[in-house]
Every structure is written in C-alpha cells, then in structure tokens.
C-alpha cells in the first residue's frame, strides 16, 4: 500500500510537470485572450504603514508581457514581474502617507485586452497594541473542539470520528467568554484559522483519512476557515474578548501549505517551494556550527510529508509575502500576538526579517516560536536578543520551554526526582530574556497530563501550580483545568464537554462539573488569581533554596516581595528546616500563605515562627505545595503549626 501511495505521489508530480509544460507550450494560444484576475494578495493595505511599498501578488491568467498602470496618480507602480506561465504577476505599490482611504484600481493590459486589479487603502493603524506580557495567562483553544455557537457552518460534521470536523467555531468561543473570565484567563491562543480544505486528506498512514480541522494545511493565507465562520465573526470574537480583558493570539504557519493549495498545482515561481525531499528532523544540526550544509538544508528545505509543500524562504518573494501576510492579519483583526508554527524549520535570516518587520510596526509585539525540542540550548538559540554562531539575532521575543514542560510532567508523575526541575532551570542564563519565555502546561500535540503513566489528580495540581509559579509566561491547554484525558493525537483533541447543545452536561458551568473536575478547576482558578495578585510570581528573580529527591524549594523575588514555594513531589509528608538567610527572612519573621480563596479574596492565614531561631521549619503534606510570602501579616489570622 505504501509503495502504491508513493507511486500516486510521483505520478502527481509528473502530471504537474506535464501540465506545466503544456501551459508553457500553449503560451501563444493563451495570449489570444485578455488577462483575467482571480486573486489579489493582500487585498488592501494601510496608509503610513512601515511596509511601503507593499508588494502585490496577483493570480489569474494571460499576464504575459503585461503592463500595469495605476488609475490614481498618487499611487506609484514599480518592480513588475510576471512568472513564466503568465498566471501570476507581482508589482510594488507605493502609498503616500496622506493617501485617502478608498478603493483603487490598477489596470493590467496586454495586446489582447485589459482588466482591473482591485485594491483598497485603509486609514493609518494604531501601532500601540496591547500585547502579551508576564501579567498574562494564555489558554490554548482548538476552535473546532471547543464549542459550537453557529450551526449554519456545520458542514460534514461527524463528532464520533476523532479526525473529522466537529463543528466548533468563533461564535462558540464568543459565547463562552464568561467561562474564560471565571477561570482567570487573560489571553487565548487559537490554532490556525486560515481556510483549509473541506475534504479529507488521503494517504497510506494510520492517520488517514483525516480532515484539516486543526488548521495547519492552509489553502488561502488571506482566507478564514468556513467551518469557523466569517472574517466578521472572527473580528467580533476578538472585539468581545478584548472588551472582556482577554487578548487573542493567532497561530500562523509560514513554513508550509496544504497540498490542496492552488500554489501546489501552479506555483507563483518555479522555486516557490523547496523540491520534495523527506525531512530527517535531526533538529540538532540547526544549533551546531559543525553541521554540514547538506544536513542543515534538509531541515530547512525538507517537507514534513507529501501533503505539506515546504515554502522556500530563501526566495525573497516568498519571504516578502509571508511578512506582509503576518502584518495584514494584525491590522485586519487587531490580534495581540502571533504564535509561529514550526519556526525552527525556516531560515534564521527569515525569522529575523519577519520578527523585525512586525516589531518595527508594532514595538514589543508578542511573537512566540514553536521550537519543539527538549533541549534548553536549542530553544534558547532561537530567542532574539543575542547573536548566534551564524551572526544572526532572530529578534524573536519568545519561545516555548519544552524542556521544563516535559520535566515538570516527569517529576509530578514520579518518573524523575524533584531536583530535576532545578536541573533545567540552571540553564536559564542561556536565554537572552528568561522572563519572556513561554512555559506550557500542555498543548494540542502532546498527551494530556491525566493520560500519562503515573498521573494522578494531585500530580496534575502540582504541575499546574508549578507552571504558574515559575518564571516566564504561562500557557495552559483547554481542558487541563478539568482533568480531561487524552493520549496520542487525536485522542488529546476531544471536544470540551458542554460546547454542543446535545451534550449531556456542560463543564462550562460549576453544576455541570464532576467533583474531581470542580476541584481541579477551583485549584487552577486560585493559582491564576494568586499569580495575578503577586508581582514576584510574574516578574521576580528565581532563587534556588533546597532540592533533593522529593522536594524542590525556590523563591521568586522582587525588591518589594519575597515568595517561597516548596513543592513536595513524593506521596509522603516531608519536613525541611531552612536557614533564614537562605530564604530572605532575617528581619521579616512572619509569613503569609499567598494562595487566594477566589470567593472571599482572602488567603488562609500565616504564621510567625520563633524569631530567635536561625531556621524556619516547614512540614509539607505528600503531593502538595506551600506558597508563602515573608513580611508583616496583613490582617490574616495567624495559624500555629
């Protein structure tokens, strides 16, 4: 079967070559017809933008020897380029700073006729965007699996099939904003909302046939997935989220497109895609200055599989297209951040240019790259702020800390000792900006915590608590707060209970949650609220205090605050005696429990240990955490222990 499928792929590429050859030999025939326009990208741009001129990519036919003129003298056309087949043309449009917002046209003419290219100029953008910071807690949502708020876009829905469309959409997210607010979420990251193919992919792998509900097989970089709603539905969701204090992060996929993209049949340029070759995924060659160019090229040009053509970012037209597309989505929707998928598989020169262009227009904008590698040196290599061995500073503000994520899971499922957390954090100096690193609790590509071997509810609680207590920007995954289970993809992408009208119960409301779900939700809610109230948890320096097989104790410290966390990963009660100098409690003898009761807004009290002792004693229950702030007790009742 596998050989048969590969034969089909080869025949498809041969057929593509034959069609290309036929198109080229029929140039004379095509030239008998007037030029035609089918797609203009981008469809609009803004006056006084940092990208000026903007480069248009126009799809159509019969563009050979075309001339392009602006119908408005204030807009200048230059740098015209037509591909060999005559079905794509490129040209620059220079927009005056004071250009009037309006609809404009450019005339494309050949000896056989002419046609108009529509284009719109919009009013200048506000460049001061409220972006993602350490004050935020990010919540990852797969729109198709979260909630169905509009049955009119439910095309080919099959909820019993884990690889089919299930019907979640933008209106479903909008409908459940109150749930996000109740939990304490301040930012949501949505998996890609580009338009994807409606039909399922066919291949000889175990995961086929499968639909593109996840959004990573784009067929239109400027289109919105019809299963999720319209562009206006998206804008309305973003407006409502922001009105309620929730920022929105777009998942972008510049590395590749779906095989059904029109480019796969008729690429804008012969080198638009890298030639097909399987990717080895030997990621370490990107970090090593000693790697051969052949190995490195495979990582940067190899395809993920036969269904995902790899965009060639060494071609300037491709890079310019992707940079403009990222900026267009920010301007067109008002998003607050971008997560760039599979970013390490694109040239670091492109990452630098992409980041620089966005940050020029929107200073301090949140950009996080997926460098899925459990190696602190590898992920740190891609964060901006320092020059790598290749002479490049990517300028990328954030990367995901996959090493700390994995180690936290391993510690709190009993696979590694508690000290392993410290052994990861000791590499923090590798990162140019450790507080800007995004620390995930889980995501849509990984097994859910409760489906890991050795997982318990108590371990899940400690995992969430640690992610919210450690340095960086925390990112949760929808459903972890109610102990959802799920193994390998697609089992880890189950529907959120209550997101559909015919669901038997709704975990979006307290009465619909089971006891364990309610306990986990309340725990997550308390830790988010506690993080929001305590600056040291968001931006403090990390100081190791004590670590062994069972215990990891550390402080988060600012000039005004000193918080001590003691995590007991073992099943048994543990006791530690900590030197006052080590925990910064030489003068501030009392401490207050910081974990907030969300309903009362109060903490559980505090204690004033013996001021004459050089040590402070703590007893920590099995599979639990102590979180205290040293200072004067602020009206909380004193508990004797």
E strands of 305-424, at which residues?
337-340, 366-369, 398-399
Identical fold between 31-122 and 138-533: no
CB 209 within 8 A of CB 163: yes
pLDDT at 196: 98
> How far is CA 459 from each of CA 126, 402, 464, 525, 550, rounded to the nearest angstrom?
45, 18, 9, 17, 13
Q: Which residues of the chain fall short of a pLDDT of 70?
A: 1-31, 632-641
Nearest in space to 450 (alpha carbons), one of 486, 418, 402:
486
Give the span between the Cα atoms of 37 and 573, in whole angstroms. Answer: 72
pLDDT at 43: 98
pLDDT at 8: 40
CB 140 within 8 A of CB 189: yes
Residue 3 contacts by C-beta under 8 Å, 6 or more apart in sequence? none
For strand 591-593 and strand 624-630, is the pairing parallel, antiparallel, or unpaired? antiparallel
Count CB-CB contacts under 10 A for residue 69: 12
pLDDT at 605: 78
**CATH fold label, 31-122:** Immunoglobulin-like (2.60.40)
Residue 430 contacts by C-beta under 8 Å, 6 or more apart in sequence? 376, 377, 380
Whether the predicted model's global pTM rises above the 0.85 cut: yes
User: What is the domain class of 538-630 according to CATH?
Assistant: mainly beta
E strands of 44-129, at which residues?
44-46, 54-61, 67-70, 76-82, 88-94, 102-110, 113-122
Quick: pLDDT tens for 288-316. Answer: 999 999 999 999 999 999 999 999 999 99
CB 40 within 8 A of CB 93: no
Count CB-CB contacts under 10 A for residue 575: 10
Domain boundaries, the chain: 31-122, 138-533, 538-630
Residue with tokens 């250009």: 99
Residue with tokens 């001590």: 564
For strand 398-399 and strand 366-369, is the pairing parallel, antiparallel, or unpaired? parallel
| Residue 512: Cβ-neighbour burial (10 angstroms; 0-12, 13-18, 19+) | middle
**CATH fold label, 138-533:** TIM Barrel (3.20.20)
Show the tokens assigned to 33: 């017809």
Give ∠ CA 624-627-632 in degrees, rounded to 5: 150
Show the tokens assigned to 180: 């996000």
pLDDT at 606: 83
CB 424 within 8 A of CB 404: yes
> How far is CA 573 from each of CA 436, 472, 570, rounded to the nearest angstrom?
35, 29, 8
CB 367 within 8 A of CB 290: no
Nearest in space to 594 (alpha carbons), one of 625, 624, 560:
625
Show the tokens assigned to 549: 């097989």
CB 464 within 8 A of CB 480: yes
Give me the phi and psi of 59, to 5 degrees please.
Answer: -100, 145
3-state helix vs strand vs coil in the chain, percent to 5: 30, 25, 45
Cβ burial 385-422 (10 Å sphere, 16+ → b, else e): eeeeeeeebbbbbbbbbbbbbbbbbbbbbbebbbbbbb
């Amino acid at each position: 079967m596998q050989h048969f499928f590969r034969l089909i792929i080869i025949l498809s590429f041969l057929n593509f070559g034959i069609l290309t050859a036929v198109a080229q030999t029929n140039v004379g025939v095509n030239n008998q017809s007037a030029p035609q326009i089918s797609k203009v990208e981008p469809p609009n741009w803004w006056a006084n933008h940092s990208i000026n001129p903007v480069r248009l990519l126009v799809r159509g036919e019969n563009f050979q020897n075309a001339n392009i003129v602006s119908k408005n003298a204030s807009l200048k056309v230059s740098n015209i380029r037509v591909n060999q087949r005559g079905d794509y043309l490129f040209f620059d449009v220079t927009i005056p700073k004071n250009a009037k917002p309006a609809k404009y046209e450019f005339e494309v003419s050949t000896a056989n006729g002419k046609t108009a290219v529509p284009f719109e100029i919009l009013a200048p953008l506000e460049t001061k965007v409220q972006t993602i910071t350490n004050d935020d807690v990010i919540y990852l949502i797969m729109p198709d699996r979260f909630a169905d708020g509009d049955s009119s876009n439910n095309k080919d829905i099959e909820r019993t099939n884990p690889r089919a469309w299930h019907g979640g959409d933008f209106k479903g997210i909008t409908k459940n904003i109150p749930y996000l607010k109740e939990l304490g979420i301040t930012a949501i990251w949505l998996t890609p909302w580009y338009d994807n193919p409606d039909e399922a992919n066919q291949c000889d792998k175990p995961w086929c046939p499968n639909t593109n509900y996840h959004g990573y097989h784009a067929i239109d970089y400027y289109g919105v997935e019809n299963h999720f709603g319209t562009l206006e539905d998206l804008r309305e969701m973003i407006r409502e989220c922001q009105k309620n204090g929730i920022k929105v992060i777009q998942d972008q996929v510049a590395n590749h497109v779906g095989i059904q993209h029109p480019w796969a049949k008729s690429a804008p340029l012969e080198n638009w895609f890298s030639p097909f070759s399987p990717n080895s995924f030997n990621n370490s060659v990107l970090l090593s200055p000693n790697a051969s160019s052949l190995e490195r090229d495979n990582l940067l040009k190899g395809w993920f599989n036969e269904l995902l053509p790899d965009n060639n970012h060494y071609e300037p037209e491709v890079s310019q297209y992707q940079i403009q597309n990222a900026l267009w989505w920010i301007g067109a929707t008002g998003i607050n951040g971008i997560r760039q998928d599979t970013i390490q598989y694109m040239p670091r020169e492109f990452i630098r240019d992409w980041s620089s262009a966005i940050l020029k227009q929107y200073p301090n904008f949140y950009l996080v790259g997926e460098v899925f590698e459990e190696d602190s040196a590898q992920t740190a290599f891609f964060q901006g702020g320092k020059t790598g061995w290749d002479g490049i500073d990517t300028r990328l503000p954030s990367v995901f800390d996959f090493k700390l994520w994995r180690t936290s899971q391993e510690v709190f499922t009993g696979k590694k000792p508690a000290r392993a957390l410290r052994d990861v954090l000791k590499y923090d100096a590798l990162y140019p900006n450790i507080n800007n690193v995004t620390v995930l609790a889980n995501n849509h590509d990984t097994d859910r915590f409760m489906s890991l071997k050795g997982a318990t509810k108590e371990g899940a609680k400690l995992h969430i608590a640690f992610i919210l207590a450690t340095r960086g920007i925390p990112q949760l995954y929808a459903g972890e707060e109610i102990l959802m289970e799920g193994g390998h993809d697609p089992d880890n992408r189950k529907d959120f209970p209550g997101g559909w009208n015919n669901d038997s119960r709704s975990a979006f409301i307290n009465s619909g949650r089971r006891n364990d779900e309610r306990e986990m939700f309340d725990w997550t809610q308390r830790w988010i609220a506690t993080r929001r109230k305590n600056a040291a948890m968001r931006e403090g320096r990390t100081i190791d205090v004590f670590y062994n097989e069972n215990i990891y104790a550390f402080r988060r410290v600012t000039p005004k605050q000193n918080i001590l966390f003691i995590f007991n990963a073992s099943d048994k009660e543990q006791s530690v005696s900590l030197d006052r100098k080590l925990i910064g409690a030489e003068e501030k003898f009392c401490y207050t429990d910081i974990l907030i009761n969300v309903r009362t807004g109060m903490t559980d009290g505090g204690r004033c240990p013996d001021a004459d002792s050089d040590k402070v004693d703590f007893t920590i229950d099995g599979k639990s955490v102590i979180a205290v702030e040293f200072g004067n007790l602020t009206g909380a009742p004193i508990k004797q222990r």
